[in-house]
Amino acid sequence: MKLQRTNRLRALTAGALAVTGALVLSACGSDDNAGGGGGQQTSAASDIECDGQGNLLASGSTAQKNAVDVWVQAYQDACPNTKINYNPTGSGAGIQEFLQGKTTFAGSDSALKEDEVTQSAKVCNDGGKAVNLPMVGGPVAVGYNISGVDDLVLDASTLAKIFDSKIGKWDDPAIKKLNPDVDLPPTKIQAFHRSDESGTTDNFTDYLATAAPDDYPYEPAKAWAAKGGQSANGSAGVATNVQQTDGAIGYFELSYASGNDLKTVKLDTGAGEPVEATVENSTNGIAAGKIVGKDGDLAMELDYSTKEEGAYPIILVTYEIVCDKGNKPENLDALKSFLTYAASEDGQKALTEIDYAPVPEDVITQVREAVTNLS
């Protein structure tokens, strides 16, 4: 039975951001989401329309976990009759759980493949199919932990060799050439990659293969393919290992670098100055992309080889994957209500406070329309 309960409540976007520090530092699910009622919110509030009630189960991308935590905090403060449980299992696992009908939506840092769209017909009723809705953007930072080194520049070629075990020490001539004024130690490089299938890995390896094809001979993929290195589960696992290991380097979303007080690599892209992993610079990088999806799908193609000034090239866009039609009736209203908030001006603005980049306006406008049309 369709629930017709719609309440206009004042949401605590500011209250959600007040817990951001704890969310980022924990990075994996031990968050304290306890909060007061909507009446306690005094600033940066937004109107959230609460449609439906019940439980929404979702899983997938660890890259967007910190963003989803903030959205869920604000939404549930406004809409206490809807509970949202997002499990950061990784993009690959999240897609599979969605395709098995276990979740209402999935988060993925990579768009669905054609065979996955075909498979989605089993869970999307009424002739529906799964579509990609870009909701979160941001830089994939390359974080490092090298005693005595506070500033480090690398390029795509050098990164490819480091993560393929072709460069083994931090005082390698190739690294020295990029950092002539840095006292680099002979410390062994400890390169960490994801052990689970990950859209973050997919985007990172897409950058390496596009910007340094001669040095990274592998196909970009969610599963790590290069030789050597050490693995860890999830973005949080990689960031934690880098934080605890002298000589370590790894890739993860900027919020995990910030939350773990990790320094990040500046990239020599061929522009006039090395480019830092920042929200602003990644927004410049995402803006160079374009929508390539069709028939209601909003999958994007990103430009990993940009040489534009101030454009950070290792970027990702995280998608919420949903059925365009044929969603379960008992979840539809709450699903649309939550995604409407996430794609709203306030929902996107909240991302900048935790080192994510809002989706460009011309794209997020199409996302809002697509959410409205879900059935």
pLDDT tens-place string over residues 92-133: 999 999 999 999 999 998 899 999 999 999 999 999 999 999
Contact 190, 162 (CB under 8 A): no
What mean pLDDT is predicted for residues 126-144?
96
What mean pLDDT is predicted for residues 35-45?
30
Measured between alpha carbons, how far is residue 96 from residues 22, 61, 101, 199, 304 in Å?
29, 12, 9, 13, 27
In a domain, 293, yes or no: no
pLDDT band at 7 (very low <50, low <70, confident <90, very high): very low
**Does the pLDDT of residue 178 top 50, yes or no?**
yes
Q: Are residues 16 and 152 in the same domain?
A: no
Q: Which pLDDT belongs to residue 46? A: 54
Q: Are residues 17 and 113 in the same domain?
A: yes
- For residue 232, what is the domain's CATH number? 3.40.190.10
Contact 321, 128 (CB under 8 A): no
Spell out the SS3 assignment of 180-249. CCCCCCCCECEEEEECCCCHHHHHHHHHHHHHCCCCCCCCCCCCCCCCCCEEECHHHHHHHHHHHCCCEE
Measured between alpha carbons, how far is residue 37 from residues 11, 33, 78, 169, 342 in Å?
9, 12, 8, 54, 20
In a domain, 297, yes or no: no
Contact 252, 261 (CB under 8 A): no
Q: Can you tell me the distance from the alpha carbon of 42 to that of 11, in angstroms, rounded to the nearest whole number?
A: 9
Measured between alpha carbons, how far is residue 308 from residues 14, 123, 209, 260, 286 in Å?
34, 42, 19, 29, 12
Q: Are residues 152 and 258 in the same domain?
A: yes
> How is residue 262 written in tokens?
């990790």
In a domain, 291, yes or no: no
Q: Are residues 340 and 277 in the same domain?
A: no
Q: Are residues 49 and 146 in the same domain?
A: no
Contact 328, 104 (CB under 8 A): yes
In a domain, 108, yes or no: yes
pTM for the full model? 0.75
Q: Are residues 122 and 160 in the same domain?
A: no
Q: Are residues 364 and 243 in the same domain?
A: no
In a domain, 294, yes or no: no
Q: Are residues 367 and 261 in the same domain?
A: no
Measured between alpha carbons, how far is residue 190 from residues 193, 205, 228, 321 in Å?
10, 18, 10, 34
How many CB atoms lie under 10 A from the CB of residue 186? 9
Q: Which domain holds residue 248?
A: 140-285
For 229, counting Cβ atoms within 10 Å of its Cβ (0-12 exposed, 13-18 middle, 19+ buried), the class is middle
Q: Which pLDDT belongs to residue 84? A: 96
> For the chain, what percent of residues have pLDDT higher than 90?
77
Contact 238, 195 (CB under 8 A): no
Tokens 């970027």 sit on residue: 315
pLDDT tens digits, residue range 234-276? 999 999 999 999 999 999 999 899 999 999 999 999 999 999 9
Q: Are residues 176 and 266 in the same domain?
A: yes
Tally of domains in the chain: 2
| Sequence-separated (6 or more) residues with CB below 8 Å from residue 132 | 108, 111, 112, 293, 297, 298, 299, 319, 321
pLDDT band at 288 (very low <50, low <70, confident <90, very high): confident
Q: Are residues 16 and 111 in the same domain?
A: yes
Q: Can you tell me the distance from the alpha carbon of 131 to that of 297, in angstroms, rounded to the nearest whole number?
A: 5
> For the chain, what percent of residues have pLDDT higher than 70?
88
